[in-house]
Chain A
Amino acid sequence: MARTIAIRVVLGLLTLLGVSILIFAATEILPGDVATAVLGQGATPDTVRVFREELGLDRPAYIRYLEWLGGAVQGDFGVALTNKRDIVKTMSPKLFNTLFLAGYAALIAVPLAVGLGILAAIKEGKWIDRTANIVSLAAISMPEFFLGYLFIFFFAVQNRWFPSLATVYSSMPLDKRIYVVAMPAVCLTLLVTAHMLRMTRSSVLAIMSQPYIEMAFLKGLSRARVIFVHALPNAAGPIITVVALNLAYLIVGVVVIESVFVYPGIGQFMVDGVSKRDLPVVQACGLVFAAAFVILNTVADVLSILVNPRLRKPR
Chain B
Amino acid sequence: MKLKELAEKIGARVVQYGKSAGIEIKRVYAGDKMSDLLSEATEETLLVTNLANTQLVRVAELMDVPGICLLNDVVPGPELVRSSIEHGTAIIVSKSGMFETCGCMYQCLYGGGNSGS
A, B bound: no
